[in-house]
């Protein structure tokens, strides 16, 4: 018989156990996206980037044909990460040795992906990483594709192969996990107030009107 104990599930992410890989959040790639509003996509991407940076998650940023076609990265990424950006020609980032060498250098067996487009530049590395024994997660609302159909079929395909889907807010709150973690409390609620829509407005309202805080912290 199973016995309950106050221990988190093994598939829950922590800030120390994974690498975040942000792929092709570029202007030209965004122009054709129809599966999500571009404003929402940028907001969700900013939330993920700020959370990863704040929690100290090692992050790989990659572009495709930045100079010749796809254009600059979202400022929500470049404003947060000052490190190298790996530009490539392959649609599948996993087929570029710069990216896989960096994955190996960081040394995490769990990888979290987000980027454009879901059905091409996310499916490719996710399926490739799974095939090589990595655990993969996909932040689906920080991804987008040319149609709802394209995005949904890509997500379904990755789930069938073993990837775990999640959202941008879910990603950040999973890293925080406990409101008693005072060292990242202000970080998490601050990012939420700015980027988490109605939830963020609710935090602002409660704090302003009642001096209330999540979890009674």
Q: Residues with catalytic annotation? A: 121
Whether 173 and 188 have beta carbons less than 8 Å apart is answered as yes
User: Which token pair is 185?
Assistant: 């409390």
Question: b/e per residue, 11-33, with b = 16+ CB within 10 A?
Answer: eebebeebbbbbbbbbeebbeeb
Show the DSSP H helices in 10-74 as ranges. 27-31, 38-55
Omega before residue 117 within 30° of 0, cis: yes
By C-alpha distance, which of 38, 35, 12 is closest to 25? Answer: 38
Angstrom distance (rounded) from CA 135 to CA 174: 16
């Amino acid at each position: 018989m199973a016995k309950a104990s106050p221990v988190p599930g093994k598939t829950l992410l922590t800030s120390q156990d994974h690498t975040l890989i942000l792929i092709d959040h570029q202007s030209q790639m965004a122009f054709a996206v129809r599966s999500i509003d571009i404003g929402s996509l940028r907001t969700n991407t900013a939330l993920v980037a700020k959370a990863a940076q704040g929690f100290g998650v090692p992050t790989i940023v990659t572009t495709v044909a930045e100079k010749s076609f796809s254009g600059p990265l979202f400022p929500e990424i470049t404003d947060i990460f000052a490190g190298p950006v790996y530009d490539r020609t392959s649609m599948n980032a996993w087929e570029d040795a710069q990216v896989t060498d960096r994955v190996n250098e960081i040394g995490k067996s769990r990888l979290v992906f987000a980027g454009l487009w879901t059905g091409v530049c996310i499916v490719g590395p996710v399926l490739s990483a799974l095939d090589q024994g990595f655990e993969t997660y996909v932040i689906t609302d920080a991804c987008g594709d040319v149609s709802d159909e394209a995005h949904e079929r890509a997500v379904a395909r990755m789930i069938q192969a073993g990837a775990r889907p999640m959202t941008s807010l879910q990603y950040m709150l999973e890293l925080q996990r406990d409101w008693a973690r005072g060292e990242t409390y202000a970080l998490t609620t601050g990012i939420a107030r700015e980027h988490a829509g109605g939830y963020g407005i609710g935090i602002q309202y409660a704090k302003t009107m009642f001096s209330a805080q999540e979890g009674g912290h």
